[in-house]
Amino acid sequence: MTATPATTRLVGRDVPRVEDAALIRGRGRFVDDIAPPGLLHAAFLRSPHAHAAIARIDAEAARALPGVHAVFTLADLAPYLTDTRLVVALPSPAYRQELHRPVLAQTEVVHVGEAVAVVVAESRHLAEDAAALVEVEYDPLPPVADCVAALEAGAPTAHRDASSNLAAELVLEYGAVDAVFATAPHRFAERLSVHRGGSHSIECRGVVARPDPLEDRLTVWSSTQTPHTAHRLLCDLLGLEERAIRVITPDVGGGFGPKLIFYPEEVVVALAARLLGRPVKWIEDRSEHFVATTQERDQSWDVELATDNEGRILGLRGTLVHDHGAWTARGVNIPQGAVSAMPLAYVVPTFRMAMKVAVTNKVPTTPVRGAGQPQGVFAMERLLDKAARGLGIDRAEIRRRNLVPGERMPYATPLKTRGGMQVVLDSGDYPRCQSMALEGADWAGFPERQRAARAQGRYLGIGIANYVEGTGRGPFEHVSVRIEPSGRIVVATGAAAMGQSTHTMLAQLVAEQLGGDMSRVQVIAGDTAAAPMGIGGSNSRQAVLAGSSAHVAATRVREKVLHVAATMLEAAEGDLEIEGDAVQVKGVPEMKVTLAAVARAVAGTPGFAIPGGRGPGLGASEEVVIDAMAYANGTAVAEVEVDAETGGVTINNLVFAHDCGNALHPRIVDGQLMGGIAHGIGNALFEHMRYDEEAQPTSTTLADYLLVTATEMPPVRILHMHSPTPLNPLGIKGVGEAGVIPVPAAIASAIEDALSPFGVRIAQVPLSPVDLLALIDPQASGSAA
Amino acid sequence: MSDAMHDFTLTVNGQAYAIRVEARRTLADALREDCGLTGTHLGCEHGVCGACTVLMDGQPVRACLLFAVQAEGRAIRTVEGLAEGGALNPLQRAFAENHALQCGYCTPGFLMLGTAILETDPSISDEALVEALSSNLCRCTGYANIARAIRAAADAMSTEGAT
């Protein structure tokens, strides 16, 4: 099927979202809204040091405070745990040391914010009061604050017993890259850096755990993107059988990556609830979020591009140092993703990137919206701008000459995914997409605008960046579709909703097949009791994987409904249609049987045959396996004005042309892109998670760490291409991360263009006004950035 | 830390809530935990994100920066009070129709901010609207649809008012 509005009633249309009714009434149910009777509150005591040995923990005064039920250190919890570490690393041969983080720090703390103890009390206030009474004697150790310095000879180690700070190293390469460079007519080198930021969902993390003695079960509500992973880890760590724990993802107030990680607080709160026999809640506050929720993007790149005289790429090589933070909370997937994204839009005949992953005394890094891809695109696009300048070729033209052309699709690249599968660009027309963006932004007319502005002493610039994004990471997502005896349709999935309209997407796809009334469909997402397996939210994957499973399952249920109804109505299947709550003869709506009646007919009566002869029930369960990723693409063009006196940047216009295959819901697609674009603007200009030389975080409020507000948003024009992927039955590609990926690169390109009269070269993001002033006039500011 | 408890009445959405809280209890916590009105959300607890925006005597305020005792004798309005007789009001409808929310966590704050804007300056200029919206943070939408929704609600209300 192709999901186009011409042939569908719901799919591909801007139907009302099923999530909205509760949320706009203030009736959402987020984790902090869950308050079972007898609830106790947890507060974590966190390390104030980036690196220190723990000499002693004395919790007696805290335990003695009225209203305090318990203070737990790792020593108190260890007897009830099968392992005191969170072993969550993705498989890779690249690791050079094991860095499984502890449930609580016991002998050494390795980043500010690492949890050392937990207090459980009658109220959050009391718990925090008591946490202040826990005495921890620390012996400070030398901290490692910078990932490049971390790998230098003689650097202190971020873990005192480690022999080095090298967490992992890996090389991605193909072709005789050095031989190509030896004879290439042109070589362009850059040293680039991208800095650390956070996801900053407006809802922080949180966990509520409730032991239920009647059912002998622990129910855990967590603001997580991966409830099934949390379930498995909780069962493993607490030594409980699967049925003894139920994990539920309630409404989640944004995820953007870090909520896919399993955190120490989740197991500590679950265990505390078991030990105390009372429900326990922990809600992260924003200051904790800055030091305890994973972050991303600190990377340092040394890269070089070889081209022929016409600007055609001959080779690409370099090295990358990636800041891993203090523990392995996910793996080496970010540097891998960054490097893989680098050449993806272009024909790059030879390639080698050597990655070193450095341990630092900072919050662990794991995917944040974009997951390395913004950095890889930034590196590639900076190189292409430099090559265009060096060769005297227009920046868009050099890209056009190198983009993978539409006629070569599917295009098998020599790259491999982290699972060792070949990267095959499945569909799309990248040069055409770039042309759309250029036209939308009036690229051709810009030099005149720039000249006119400069005549008035104003500095306008335009910039461009392309991206290709691997979306829909497999292997599967579970979806079951069942028509109940009431006639209502229940959909259960391992996918987890964190704001990306997952319920609407699934209800749309299922109702499309089963009567067209989304209000009859109830979607249960993120409940381990409702779905036996699941992977959850990451990698722009849920519409692709869960959507495909929902579509196939609903189609199977539809076939069975029509078959049974045909028997009941004594009509031919082909003459029937499902409309609302009934199956009817086409054109004769009074000849019908309700879905409820069909469901009851096949629910089984003792001693009687099931009508239709296709077995009982109206249900289907699917885990459609799609290993290959669907590659989405796009082009961002940004036009900026830079105030050379203040360093302030105004984005006058941003055009985003993209191709995510078919759109299930065009308005939701635009919404996902806009959110990503806003995040990308933040990464380009505002969001900088700062640490001092002692690895102390110095931007730990939203007044210091700036998120984009309404006034910083430029006019954005989104242009669409639809190249359906052959990889899934819906022809769709993921769109949740796309917006963020090319935007920092496009803005950097535009700023460099605006400031070309000053000879400014942009080699980093984010770019604050202070950074830009230093670049505009290094003498005046006293230092070059 | 003070053990002194304060007994007083909070008036929220026209309804009286007799509560007993410590002086340090914020208005946001009192609304959520003592009045059971969990529609008001906390995003930063330091007055930047605006997720906890409620109206106090018609003015948008940060419920995380006020102590509950400061709201005694004032008229507090929260997201739960917007729907009229169970029916969504024009601003709520406009948020849904314009896809002005995704995860919905910041939404109650924006709805209350938008309510104040519509009540004080229904013909607000586009520039002033964007400026006013910059007091709250949203990580999902990129803001354009929120501005569009408030504009649409203003238009709908002026049309209704004219007929």
C-alpha dist (Å) from residue A7 to A2, A3, A12, A49, A499 = 8, 7, 9, 61, 28
- Given a cut of 80, whether residue A3 has pLDDT beyond it is no
Q: Assess contact for A691 and A698: CB atoms under 8 A.
A: yes
What DSSP element (H or E) covers A383? helix A373-391
Q: Are the Cβ atoms of A23 and B104 closer than 8 angstroms?
A: yes
Measured between CA atoms, the residue of chain A closest to residue B24 is A125
Note whether B98 and B33 are same-domain residues: no
Q: Within the 231-270 window of chain A, which residues sit less than 8 Å (CB to CB) from chain B?
A: 251-254, 256
- Given a cut of 80, whether residue A78 has pLDDT beyond it is yes
Nearest to B105 among A22, A203, A678 (CB): A203
Nearest to B46 among A678, A702, A711 (CB): A702
- Given a cut of 80, whether residue A710 has pLDDT beyond it is yes
Between chain A and chain B, how many beta carbons pairs sit less than 8 Å apart?
173
Tell me the two tokens of residue A440: 């939308």
- Given a cut of 70, whether residue A117 has pLDDT beyond it is yes
Condensed to tens digits (0 to 9), the pLDDT of residues A489-543 reads 999 999 999 999 999 999 999 999 999 999 999 999 999 999 999 999 988 899 9
- Given a cut of 70, whether residue A554 has pLDDT beyond it is yes
Residue A785 banded pLDDT, cuts 50, 70, 90: very low
Q: Identify from B42, B65, B103 which residue to disrupt to test chain A contact, counting A C-beta atoms within 10 A and taking the largest count.
A: B103
A783 contact B CB<8A: no
Residue B162 banded pLDDT, cuts 50, 70, 90: low
Summarize the confidence of residues A704-715 as an average pLDDT: 97
Q: Are the Cβ atoms of A30 and B78 closer than 8 angstroms?
A: no
Chosen domain end from B81, B112, B128: B81
Q: Assess contact for A308 and A184: CB atoms under 8 A.
A: yes
Q: Which residues pair with A247 in a beta bridge?
A: A220
Q: Helix count (H) and strand count (E) of chain A?
A: 21, 31
Residue B157 is predicted with a pLDDT of 87
Distance from CA of B73 to the nearest CA of A (A): 24
Measured between CA atoms, the residue of chain A closest to residue B44 is A286
Residue A732 to residue A630: CA distance in whole angstroms: 8
C-alpha dist (Å) from residue A323 to A99, A160, A256 = 14, 18, 19
Distance from CA of A25 to the nearest CA of B (A): 6
Residue A421 is predicted with a pLDDT of 86
Please, what's the b/e burial string for A215-244 (b: 16 or more CB within 10 A of its CB; e: otherwise)? eeebbbbbbbbbbbbbbbbbbebbebeeee
Strands A649-659 and A716-721: parallel
Q: Within the 4-33 window of chain A, which residues sit less than 8 Å (CB to CB) from chain B?
A: 16-17, 19-28, 30, 32-33
- Given a cut of 50, whether residue B1 has pLDDT beyond it is no
Residue A1 is predicted with a pLDDT of 40
- The helix/strand/coil state of A469 is strand
Q: What residues does each domain of chain A span?
A: 426-471+628-785, 474-622
Count of structural domains, chain B? 2
Residue B4 is predicted with a pLDDT of 85
A370 Rama sector, left if φ>0, alpha if ψ -120 to 50, beta otherwise: left
Mean confidence (pLDDT) of chain A: 96
Note whether B106 and B60 are same-domain residues: no
Q: What range defines the domain where residue B153 resides? A: 90-162
Note whether B146 and B99 are same-domain residues: yes
Note whether B12 and B76 are same-domain residues: yes
- The helix/strand/coil state of A20 is helix
Strands A489-493 and A521-525: parallel
Residue A75 φ/ψ, nearest 5 degrees: -60, -35
Q: What percent of chain A has pLDDT over 70?
A: 98
Q: Which residues pair with A584 in a beta bridge?
A: A577, A592
Q: Are the Cβ atoms of A285 and B78 closer than 8 angstroms?
A: no
Note whether B65 and B95 are same-domain residues: no
- Given a cut of 70, whether residue A750 has pLDDT beyond it is yes
- Given a cut of 90, whether residue A690 has pLDDT beyond it is yes
- Given a cut of 70, whether residue A428 has pLDDT beyond it is yes
**How many CB atoms are closer than 10 A to CB A277?**
9
Chosen domain end from B81, B112, B127: B81
Q: Which residues contact A343 (CB under 8 A, 6 or more apart)?
A: A316, A351, A380, A413, A415
Q: Which residues contact B125 (CB under 8 A, 6 or more apart)?
A: none
Note whether B74 and B133 are same-domain residues: no
Chosen domain end from B60, B81, B102: B81
Tell me the two tokens of residue A512: 């499309």
Note whether B52 and B97 are same-domain residues: no
Condensed to tens digits (0 to 9), the pLDDT of residues A169-209 reads 999 999 999 999 999 999 999 999 999 999 999 999 999 99
Q: Which CATH class is domain A426-471+628-785?
A: alpha beta
Condensed to tens digits (0 to 9), the pLDDT of residues A292-321 reads 999 999 999 999 999 999 999 999 999 999
Distance from CA of B10 to the nearest CA of A (A): 19
Residue B46 banded pLDDT, cuts 50, 70, 90: very high
Which positions in chain A touch B108 (Cβ < 8 Å)? 26
Residue A728 φ/ψ, nearest 5 degrees: -140, 160
Nearest to B83 by CA among A20, A19, A303, A588: A20
Note whether B73 and B102 are same-domain residues: no
Distance from CA of B51 to the nearest CA of A (A): 8
Summarize the confidence of residues A331-338 as an average pLDDT: 95
**How many CB atoms are closer than 10 A to CB A288?**
20
Residue B88 to residue A24: CA distance in whole angstroms: 8
- The helix/strand/coil state of A24 is coil
A378 Rama sector, left if φ>0, alpha if ψ -120 to 50, beta otherwise: alpha
Distance from CA of A505 to the nearest CA of B (A): 13
Measured between CA atoms, the residue of chain B closest to residue A252 is B103
Q: Assess contact for A706 and A377: CB atoms under 8 A.
A: no
Condensed to tens digits (0 to 9), the pLDDT of residues A7-46 reads 899 999 999 999 999 999 999 999 999 999 999 999 999 9
Nearest to B102 among A24, A33, A671 (CB): A671
Which positions in chain B touch A710 (Cβ < 8 Å)? 130-131, 133-134, 143, 146-147
Residue A782 banded pLDDT, cuts 50, 70, 90: very low
Choices 3.40.50.1820, 3.30.365.10, 3.40.50.300, 3.40.640.10: CATH for A474-622:
3.30.365.10
Q: Are the Cβ atoms of B107 and A23 closer than 8 angstroms?
A: yes
Measured between CA atoms, the residue of chain A closest to residue B32 is A33
Which positions in chain B touch A713 (Cβ < 8 Å)? 130, 142-144
A707 contact B CB<8A: yes
Nearest to A117 by CA among A321, A279, A295, A268: A268
Tell me the two tokens of residue A769: 């006004």
Nearest to A640 by CA among A542, A555, A746: A746
Residue A115 to residue A112: CA distance in whole angstroms: 9
Nearest to A295 by CA among A690, A739, A677: A690
Condensed to tens digits (0 to 9), the pLDDT of residues A600-613 reads 999 988 999 999 88
Handedness of CA B66, B69, B75, B80 (dihedral sign): positive
Which positions in chain B touch A200 (Cβ < 8 Å)? 139
Question: How would you list the strands of the sheet with A52-58, edge to edge?
Answer: A108-109, A52-58, A135-140
- The helix/strand/coil state of A35 is coil
A610 contact B CB<8A: no
Q: Could you check whether A426-471+628-785 and A474-622 share the same CATH topology?
A: yes
Distance from CA of B20 to the nearest CA of A (A): 14
Nearest to A293 by CA among A262, A322, A267, A270: A262
Summarize the confidence of residues A367-392 as an average pLDDT: 97
Which positions in chain B touch A19 (Cβ < 8 Å)? 104
Note whether B74 and B16 are same-domain residues: yes
Residue A85 to residue A97: CA distance in whole angstroms: 15
Q: Identify from A20, A284, A699, A717 which residue to disrupt to test chain B contact, counting B C-beta atoms within 10 A and taking the largest count.
A: A20
Per residue, what are the HEC states of A208-272? EEEEECCCCEEEEEECCCCHHHHHHHHHHHHCCCHHHEEEECCECCCCCCHHHCCCHHHHHHHHH
- The helix/strand/coil state of A622 is strand
Summarize the confidence of residues A448-461 as an average pLDDT: 97
- Given a cut of 90, whether residue A2 has pLDDT beyond it is no
Q: Which residues contact A490 (CB under 8 A, 6 or more apart)?
A: A481, A482, A483, A484, A521, A522, A524
Distance from CA of B162 to the nearest CA of A (A): 26
Tell me the two tokens of residue A554: 């609903």
- Given a cut of 90, whether residue A418 has pLDDT beyond it is no
Residue A321 to residue A311: CA distance in whole angstroms: 28
Q: Are the Cβ atoms of A286 and B133 closer than 8 angstroms?
A: no
